[in-house]
């Protein structure tokens, strides 16, 4: 029988060889980003009029939003459906989502040509009810705000027992009590907002049917994006939890992660049915045998990212083994990431292409820098705030 432990700061050594690598990659990415802001987006990218978006949209934004789905999925499971057993993974998932959406905003800032106008959607005079991108932007801004509000009780708990700053302690005590009384409103708002913009990201590409390969050119792309976000939510929580356990030398929470993984084959199965059914209804199944790069990427995405992990997670031996569970989670996470890359890069072709888009060194460096900085921020926060539940004796200096 498992023993419940309250979330506590890990208090591990912050600077290690691994974090030094993260900081170096972050520094390189920041240098390229600074160059981009000084000399324009064309100075470090291979983007042009025919290819207006690249990996900054496909990976930094679309993939980042999808992989942050664990936040609202675990919040819904624990707080809306009252599955108390899963409370221990809610805080790490919330932190991952909060950082994920924050860095999605940073990635979008780098990608926008006129980045200094990113605040315009906050002005009612700039609103457009006919714009899918406006709806995405408003939902993301609102959801980021909700995520930071949901994190406030964790921030307050850090200082509730702090004797050195009595005024801060008193403020945190009052704020913590007030937030606990109304937190259910923000949890519900977070779930609703997530469903809205997860689906709307797919609608961005529905608007360009003449430039999309038929394997992905479907009117239900928004639904497929939403279902894939549902499917990747719990695998991302499993992936994050097991990586954190290894990094901080903690025991994997298999008593929580194994039961959580039982939901994944159901969600993957629903997604797969719609994915195959869409091709069948549109009479496009024959395209899978055309041997094109797009057909190959579609097969890899579905087989390795959906079918194989679904089959693995139907086996109790895999679900209850840390290595097996981790491999299955990685396949799902990689499959959804590949799906977003396929939709925004592989499937997209301009009408009269003059060249093929391939990311520049600067684009790759900025993306790697953002991911590295996100991981470093995660380590800093779990070190000093009560996010991860663990036994006190499991800590290392």
Residue-wise pLDDT for 104-162, tens only, equals 889 888 988 888 888 888 888 888 878 888 888 888 888 899 999 999 998 888 888 77
Mean pLDDT taken over the chain: 89
Mean local confidence (pLDDT), 326-330: 96
Count other C-beta atoms under 10 Å from residue 27's C-beta.
12
* Contacts of residue 381, Cβ cutoff 8 Å, sequence gap at least 6: 95, 99, 387
Count other C-beta atoms under 10 Å from residue 349's C-beta.
18
User: Distance (Å, rounded) from C-alpha 136 to C-alpha 57?
Assistant: 13
Q: Please report the pLDDT score of residue 396 as a whole number.
A: 39
Q: Please report the pLDDT score of residue 283 as a whole number.
A: 94
User: Distance (Å, rounded) from C-alpha 120 to C-alpha 133?
Assistant: 13
- Poorest-pLDDT segment among 38-47, 130-139, 259-268, 360-369: 130-139
Rounded to two decimals, the pTM is: 0.90
Q: How confident is the model at residue 2 (pLDDT cuts 50, 70, 90)?
A: very low
User: Distance (Å, rounded) from C-alpha 297 to C-alpha 335?
Assistant: 11
H helix or E strand, kind and range, residue 120: none
Where helices occur in the chain by DSSP H, the ranges are 17-39, 55, 64-67, 70-75, 90-111, 132-159, 166-206, 221-247, 254-261, 264-281, 293-302, 308-313, 316-319, 322-341, 361-384
* Contacts of residue 276, Cβ cutoff 8 Å, sequence gap at least 6: 285
Tracing tokens 């959607």 back to the chain, one arrives at: 121
pLDDT at 391 over 60: no
Q: Do 154 and 385 meet the contact criterion of CB atoms below 8 Å apart?
A: yes
pLDDT at 343 over 80: yes
What domains sit in the chain, N to C, each tagged with a CATH number?
Answer: 17-214+221-256+358-394 (1.20.1630)
Q: Please report the pLDDT score of residue 140 as a whole number.
A: 84
Q: Please report the pLDDT score of residue 307 as a whole number.
A: 97
pLDDT at 392 over 60: no
pLDDT at 315 over 70: yes
* Contacts of residue 292, Cβ cutoff 8 Å, sequence gap at least 6: none
Q: Do 235 and 329 meet the contact criterion of CB atoms below 8 Å apart?
A: yes
Q: Do 1 and 376 meet the contact criterion of CB atoms below 8 Å apart?
A: no
Q: Please report the pLDDT score of residue 273 as a whole number.
A: 96
- Share of residues in the chain with pLDDT > 70 (%): 97
pLDDT at 196 over 90: no
CA 355 distance to own-chain centroid: 31
User: Distance (Å, rounded) from C-alpha 237 to C-alpha 157?
Assistant: 23
* Contacts of residue 291, Cβ cutoff 8 Å, sequence gap at least 6: none
User: Distance (Å, rounded) from C-alpha 167 to C-alpha 74?
Assistant: 34
Q: How confident is the model at residue 397 (pLDDT cuts 50, 70, 90)?
A: very low
Count other C-beta atoms under 10 Å from residue 305's C-beta.
24
Dihedral angle over CA of 80, 82, 88, 94, nearest 10 = 0
Q: Please report the pLDDT score of residue 125 as a whole number.
A: 85
Q: Please report the pLDDT score of residue 168 as a whole number.
A: 84
């Amino acid at each position: 029988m498992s023993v419940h432990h309250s979330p506590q700061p890990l208090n591990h050594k912050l600077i290690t060889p691994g974090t030094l690598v993260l900081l170096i990659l972050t520094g390189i990415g920041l240098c390229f980003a600074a160059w981009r802001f000084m000399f324009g987006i064309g100075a470090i990218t291979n983007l042009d009029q025919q290819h207006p978006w690249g990996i900054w949209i496909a990976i930094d934004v679309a993939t980042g939003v999808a992989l942050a789905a664990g936040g609202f999925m675990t919040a819904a499971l624990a707080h809306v459906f009252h599955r108390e057993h899963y409370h221990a993974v809610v805080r790490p998932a919330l932190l991952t989502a909060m950082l994920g959406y924050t860095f999605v905003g940073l990635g979008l800032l780098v990608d926008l040509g006129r980045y200094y106008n990113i605040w315009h959607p906050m002005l009612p005079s700039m609103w457009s009810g006919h714009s899918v991108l406006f709806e995405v932007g408003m939902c993301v801004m609102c959801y980021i705000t909700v995520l930071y509000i949901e994190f406030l009780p964790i921030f307050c708990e850090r200082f509730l027992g702090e004797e050195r700053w009595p005024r801060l302690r008193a403020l945190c005590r009052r704020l913590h009590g007030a937030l606990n009384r109304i937190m259910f409103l923000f949890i519900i708002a977070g779930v609703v907002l997530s469903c809205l913009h997860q689906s709307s990201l797919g609608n961005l590409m529905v608007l360009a049917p003449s430039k999309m390969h038929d394997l992905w050119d479907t009117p239900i792309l928004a639904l497929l994006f939403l279902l894939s976000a549902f499917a990747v939510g719990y695998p991302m929580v499993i992936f994050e939890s097991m990586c954190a356990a290894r990094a901080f030398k903690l025991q994997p929470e298999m008593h929580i992660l194994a039961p959580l993984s039982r939901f994944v084959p159901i969600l993957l199965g629903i997604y797969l049915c719609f994915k195959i059914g869409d091709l069948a209804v549109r009479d496009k199944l024959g395209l899978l045998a055309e041997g094109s790069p797009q057909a190959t990427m579609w097969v890899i995405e579905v087989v390795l990212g959906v079918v194989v992990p679904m089959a693995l997670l139907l086996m109790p031996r895999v679900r209850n083994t840390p290595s097996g569970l981790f491999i299955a989670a990685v396949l799902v996470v990689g499959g959804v990431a590949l799906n977003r890359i396929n939709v925004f890069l592989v499937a997209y072709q301009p009408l009269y292409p003059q060249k093929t888009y391939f990311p520049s060194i600067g684009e790759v460096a900025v993306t790697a820098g953002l991911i590295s900085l996100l991981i470093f921020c995660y380590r800093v926060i779990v070190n000093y705030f009560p996010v991860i539940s663990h036994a006190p004796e499991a800590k290392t200096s």
